Copies of this chain bind each other. A is one copy, B any other.
Amino acid sequence: MKTSPAAVSSETESPPATSKRQAILDAAADVFAEEGFAAASIDAIAARAGVSRQTVYNQLGDKDNLFKVVVAEITEKSSADFFRVLDTFPVAPIDLETELTEFSALLLRKAVCDPNGRWLRKLVETEGGRFPELFETWKEYGPGKKYPAIAARLAQLALAGHLDIEDPALAARQYVALLATDLRINQQIGRQTPEEEVDRMAREATKTFLRAFAKR
Give residues in A with beta carbon < 8 Å to B.
34-39, 121-122, 124-126, 128-129, 135, 139, 142-144, 147, 170, 173-174, 176-178, 180-182, 184-185, 187-190, 204-205, 208-209, 211-213
Contacts and interface: CB of A to CB of B under 8 A. Distances in A.
B170 A174 contact: no
A181 B188 contact: no
A142 B190 CA distance: 13
Contacts of A34: 129
A185 B143 contact: yes
29 contacts: A34-B129, A36-B36, A36-B39, A36-B126, A38-B38, A39-B39, A124-B188, A125-B187, A125-B188, A126-B126, A128-B190, A135-B190, A139-B188, A139-B189, A142-B188, A142-B189, A143-B188, A143-B189, A144-B189, A170-B204, A173-B182, A174-B178, A174-B181, A174-B205, A208-B212, A209-B212, A211-B211, A211-B212, A212-B212
A204 B213 CA distance: 13
A114 to B, nearest CB: 16
From A34, A39, A209, name the one whose CB has the most chain B CB atoms within 10 angstroms.
A39
Contacts of A208: 174, 212-213
A1 to B, nearest CB: 22
Contacts of A177: 177-178, 180-181, 184
From A34, A125, A128, A209, name the one whose CB has the most chain B CB atoms within 10 angstroms.
A125
Nearest to A177: B181
Contacts of A205: 174
Given A173-B182, A185-B173, A212-B208, A122 B126 contact: yes
A176 B174 CA distance: 11
